[in-house]
Every structure is written in structure tokens, then in C-alpha cells.
Chain A
């Protein structure tokens, strides 16, 4: 699960920046959408209150409709954002991959498999997602990727970049 309250990793920063830029670019559309949603909510509320017989079902339906309309706007904005951005989905996947790895590392620390870890360490040429100090395996540099397909080419292209980042890891100098 993606937790946006974590210290911002590179893909998370990119995603947040892209989203802010999208909101600035589409400010009029977003404001129109919010205005329509507020108007629609008010209209539905009045119609139900006037024409539906008073009773527990009315409040249940009214609450359900309000909740639906309140969630519809952020959902519509998110869909429009991802549909209009070429890179947002990549950054979202990157952030989700890093977040999943963080969850596993947190559990590994709790179960005394690793001593600890540092997230998102900027080095020359990029960003190391996690530097992990293990109990019985030295220090590991972990890069997380989210992919829905893999080929030998993909691994062959990824390996040198990841190896270069690990080579620039500060743990090589600090230990």
C-alpha cells in the first residue's frame, strides 16, 4: 500500500510535482468539476428531501449518495491526471515498489533479520531506494522496480544501471 506520509522518494517527488503541475494547468476544469459536484449534491439532496417519504431509508440513501459524489470528484481528477500524463503511471509504480519494499524491510527489522535501513539515498547518477544493514550479509543496496512484463533484455539493461548505483553507494566509503 502506498503511504504518502513517508519521506519523499524520487518517484514520489516526481509524482507530486506532476500532479501539482496538472492541477495548475487544468485549474478551470477542476474548479468546474467541483462546482458541478456541489450543485449536483445539493440538487439530489433537495429532490430526495422533498419527494421521498421521510424514514430511515431516506437518510441511508442520502448518506450513500453524498459519499459517492464526494469520492467521485477525486476519482475523476485522478483518472484525468493519469490519462493525460505519459510518466505519472511509471512514477506511481516506482513509488509503490519502493513502498512495498519498505514494508518488508520494516518487518525484517522487527523480526531481527536486519539491523536497519536508510531510504532514498541520492548518489552520483541517481537514487538508491534502500541501503540495508543486515545481521549476517553485510550491507545491501536495493533498487525496487514495478513491472508487468519481463524479458532477458529488460534484466540485461537494468543490471548495469543498478550495479553502477550500488558502486556509488556511500556505504562503500563509510564502512
Chain B
């Protein structure tokens, strides 16, 4: 995610080595456009809990 003055110069989609560079102001639209792997609510909640526990370990 690129913020700062440069975000206006960023191309719509710059990808290097599987890493996608997205201008900050396009983040919301970019997230809405994700249409890959669907995630169930129960799986998401479980994963978020485990990630939070991993962070606090």
C-alpha cells in the first residue's frame, strides 16, 4: 500500500514478484474487487482469534 505524494503517480496495477503495489486511495476499491477464495464467517472469526493470539504471544 503506497501513501504520500507518489500515490498519484502510481500505475493502476504494479506487480513485482507477486507483490501488488496499490495507491492508498484505491485500497477500498481494490479490496471490494477481490473475488478469489470465499471465506466463511466462522472460519474468519476463528482465524482472526488465532492471529490475535499469535500477535499477543
Contact = CB atoms under 8 A, between A and B. Distances in A.
Contacts of B32: 108, 113
Given A115-B45, A150-B9, A138 B4 contact: no
9 contacts: A100-B3, A100-B24, A101-B24, A108-B28, A121-B55, A140-B34, A146-B4, A150-B6, A170-B54
Given A120-B55, A134-B39, A137-B35, A163 B17 contact: yes
A115 B3 contact: no
Interface in A128-145: 129, 131-140, 142-145
Contacts of B16: 155-156, 158-159
A147 interface: yes
A93 B34 contact: no
Contact of B44 (A133, A142, A146, A155): A133
A122 B55 contact: yes
Given A97-B4, A113-B28, A137 B36 contact: yes
A124 interface: no
Interface residues of A, number: 50
B28 A136 contact: no
B48 to A, nearest CB: 5
B40 to A, nearest CB: 9
A88 interface: no
Contact of A145 (B3, B14, B31): B3
Given A138-B37, A145-B2, 7 more contacts: A104-B31, A108-B31, A129-B1, A144-B3, A144-B24, A163-B17, A166-B19
A7 B19 CA distance: 26
A144 B36 contact: no
B6 A147 contact: yes
Interface in B24-57: 24, 27-28, 31-32, 34-39, 41, 43-45, 47-48, 50-52, 54-55
A146 B30 CA distance: 18
